A and B are shown apart, each in its own frame.
Chain A
């Protein structure tokens, strides 16, 4: 690790200026692309707004509750098939998380929430108007296929030593699960609180917990990877799914068309097939 004077000498004498110049050029390019990237991100989908009258085009960005992943995925494909040139982009997460990103100015066209309360918070903030309820969902207990802990019903969830995953309270699936626990007058001590319903489902699928409280539609979507234990109607709780176009939707025309598709007979069919109830 000695100082190589000869090499320093050579570098200074020869192309000493070429290096900084190419570096400058490179950094200028980086800076320009970064700037371009910024404006791009800010105006994602804005170009889509300039549609031909009557038709719709561009991208429609849909923020939807995690429990809608499968059914909205299908609805998106149908919508794209019916409207060539339009592509649907989804962001599936906890409704509360999506509402927060909308409040922070995330460029979305449509919001579909797993609870009216979450949707109301977005409406109150002035970010959405006239939400319409398009589906309802009830809860079910998901257990690994072999049901290692022998869970048979809600009362079992309070059993000491049983590892249970539920959604955290601020997420619709968490507050709905809590309603069920309250009805059954039990206290559940969860092993983990999922940030959204799919996180709870994953914990069950991996066999890391003995049971998880998820939506009926999640059990159906998971197929043979989990076993569902139904909760009797009187002891169950349900949540309603409202959908709305956002007031700052970059592509308002396509947003309205997508909402119409969800509310259409075709849309209802897909949702019913997935296990949702009609409102």
Chain B
């Protein structure tokens, strides 16, 4: 439902509130419980007493720093190429558009590990692109921090693209028509009219993209491997700590949870505001 529709309803015709129907309330309560109980488990079983000493481990902060930096870089790259891609998908008309639309959102449904294998076959030392990078420039991507950023961008970019493309399709074309009638070319119209119009969706898409990137595991461990400080992001650190030191895994999870909540809460108002608009 678009915001315009809601605004058209006057307070008198607004649906009566009444008691919420139980066929909705009961499953909703189950869903809430299902989502929250694991988080409660994390908090209850957290090694609160040894937490200070666990947190003083530089490995935790190395992994957190790496995760924040790589997820932010991945979001930046996604913005740079994703917003133009969203515009092309929403506005351009050419044969094969539907196919392109399906293809670029493929990483959404692709298991991330498969994405990692695909990245290796493309950008690995023997990959179809990677072999030339190695031969011509002496650049090898796997097992570097760049590989982490690439893996995260691969899985997170479609989130931004679909959010922005959806907003572009829903946006009122009349603003752009007016802009054109005033003599603005398409690039100026995009910069001065279209982009501000969909800015809330770009923000919401960026947050989704960042959240997906910071949680990335499968493609990262497959394509970028695991080395503390270089490619060991928080999710990988959590997974591997679980094998040797479950308390450390819980601590790492708590840190990641705290950071994610902090960032989501600080952006919440804007997301709630725009979330319904797209």
Contact = CB atoms under 8 A, between A and B. Distances in A.
A203 interface: yes
Interface string B220-256: 0100011110010000000110111010000000000
A50 interface: no
A1 B278 CA distance: 13
B143 A192 contact: yes
A3 B2 CA distance: 10
A29 interface: no
Contacts of A2: 5
B226 A192 contact: yes
B226 A97 contact: no
A3 B140 CA distance: 55
B31 to A, nearest CB: 11
B29 to A, nearest CB: 13
Interface string B113-148: 000000010001110000000000000101100000
A206 B4 contact: no
Given A2-B5, A96-B243, A195 B120 contact: no
Interface in A17-31: 20, 23-24, 27
Contacts of A23: 23
Name the residue among B21, B125, B228 with the largest chain A CB count within 10 angstroms: B125
Contacts of B4: 1
Secondary structure of the A contact surface, majority rule: loop
B227 A192 contact: yes
A191 B125 CA distance: 13
B225 A3 contact: no
Nearest to A169: B244
Contacts of A1: 1-2, 4-5, 170
Interface residues of A, number: 29
A100 B244 contact: yes
Contacts of B227: 190-193
B219 to A, nearest CB: 15
Contacts of B21: 20
Highest count of chain A CB atoms <10 Å: which of B4, B228, B240: B240
A170 B243 CA distance: 8
B10 interface: no
B181 interface: no
Given A1-B5, A190-B227, A193-B226, A94 B243 contact: yes
Interface in A186-210: 190-195, 203, 206-209
A270 B4 CA distance: 73
B276 interface: no
A163 interface: yes
Interface string A162-182: 010100101100000000000
Given A100-B243, A195-B226, A163 B143 contact: yes
22 contacts: A3-B9, A94-B243, A97-B243, A100-B242, A103-B246, A163-B143, A168-B226, A191-B225, A192-B225, A192-B226, A192-B231, A193-B225, A194-B225, A194-B226, A195-B243, A206-B120, A206-B124, A207-B124, A208-B120, A208-B124, A208-B142, A209-B143
Given A1-B5, A209-B143, 9 more contacts: A96-B243, A97-B243, A190-B227, A191-B225, A195-B221, A195-B243, A206-B124, A207-B124, A208-B120
Interface of A: 1-3, 20, 23-24, 27, 94, 96-97, 100, 103-104, 163, 165, 168, 170-171, 190-195, 203, 206-209
Interface of B: 1-2, 4-5, 8-9, 21, 23, 27, 120, 124-126, 140, 142-143, 170, 221, 225-228, 231, 239-240, 242-244, 246
